[in-house]
Structure 1
């Protein structure tokens, strides 16, 4: 079932644990996937991981979306020249380096780095990708449940997640009926390959491919869920 045949989708953070599984699902549904990463070695590993998928079309690009306004424009121009306007975009980026410490112990330097890695970079990514989408296209941004619920020891992640949630939903409201559609997908722990290998993945966690199935439906835009900007995928049966 090539649900996304003929559609071109860009994935920011494609080499991460979630990104690789989502990319795999999109390819299996027949999409042309433009997989972005700042690390060429990780892109090579992604190509090797997906070498057995014989549907869709994988294009990997070393690209940094975390740029100032002038840099964002340059990246946008390059992508537009090569691919035109995208049918969909998926943003699955972030850095948990500031976890496992109380807020009172967070230094100014760590605070500024966390804001840069987990908020500013997301804003810059959205600023780059949203104008590249077709008016009937869709962008899905992933974030964590700590945006809604306090997680002692991960407060700085929760604060930036809450700000990202506001950022994405505000942008969704601003686009409104003019398009593209913008979604915030709040997720719980995910059964990434790395977690499965380490033996810490639970059976009731979603797989990255499960996220990909749901996101492919949002991109198509023909379901009841696609009419709402905010969604949750916490755990199976939850």
Structure 2
């Protein structure tokens, strides 16, 4: 077939934008998806990256987004989900149950809804990749809720992969390195992975899923971009 068609969800965030730009530079046809039409306008720069407005709050909303994403290039072959909503930094004892439910809805259920709707609709050789973080394994000061959601997200991707019987494949890519994205350019250090390099790595996974077996993969350094891990994938 021709060029792969990649739908990037959360394409207005630092990592999502990096994936969209990096994948487009690597030759994929990219559809950038997000909730905010005004922020998506940044892609109206003649690059050829298409845009689609929508959200992942419910399965019905995801289905509408999916159907809209079919139009620019006649279909979607792969999906990258880079959706993580910002939340407050405070001790767990300071959170109310209602606030924690909101964190759960915007950081975990968004991925859950997208997977349920989109994974079965991808082609047989398709791929769905969710972006996770290293805080699944450690806790930053006053950010335990983030670690809780990242750990739950990782187990969710493992669960979907374990239950999957044929069809499109599913991976989670955990970003262990700090990422040099739009909002961190001024403080980024040379060894940080560039946002567009995350896009390059996503492309490598899509192109060769048998090498990047997963279902849980880790990107730890710039030297690793586009290369498989040495025995570190998590079943």
TM over 0.5: yes
Q: Which residue of 2 aligns with 1:39?
A: 36
Give 1:76 deviation, angstroms: 3.8
TM-score computed with the length of structure 1 as normaliser: 0.85
Q: Decide which of 163, 171, 193 is 1:206's aligned counterpart.
A: 193
Confirm or deny: 8 A CA contact 1:89 1:139 kept in the other structure. Answer: yes
Confirm or deny: 8 A CA contact 1:85 1:134 kept in the other structure. Answer: no
* Helix, strand or coil at the partner of 1:64: coil
Q: Which residue of 1 aligns with 2:4?
A: 7
TM-score computed with the length of structure 2 as normaliser: 0.86
Q: Decide which of 170, 175, 182 is 2:170's aligned counterpart.
A: 182
Alignment of 1:59-74 (within 5 A): 59-67=50-58, 69-74=59-64
Q: Which residue of 2 aligns with 1:123?
A: 112
* Helix, strand or coil at the partner of 2:15: helix
Q: Which residue of 1 aligns with 2:148?
A: 159
Give 1:234 deviation, angstroms: 2.7
Tell me the distance in 2 between the aligned counterparts of 1:111 and 1:144.
Answer: 19
Equivalent pairs counted in the alignment come to 223
Runs of at least 5 residues in structure 1 that lack an aligned partner in the other structure: none
* Helix, strand or coil at the partner of 1:136: coil
TM-align CA RMSD: 2.2
Give 1:152 deviation, angstroms: 2.8
Confirm or deny: 8 A CA contact 1:33 1:58 kept in the other structure. Answer: yes
Give 1:42 deviation, angstroms: 0.5
Superimposed CA distance per residue, residues 21-41 of structure 1 (whole angstroms, 9 cap, x where no aligned partner): 211111112211111111011
Structure-2 change in CA distance of 1:194 and 1:32 (3 Å): same
Aligned: 1:235 with 2:232? no
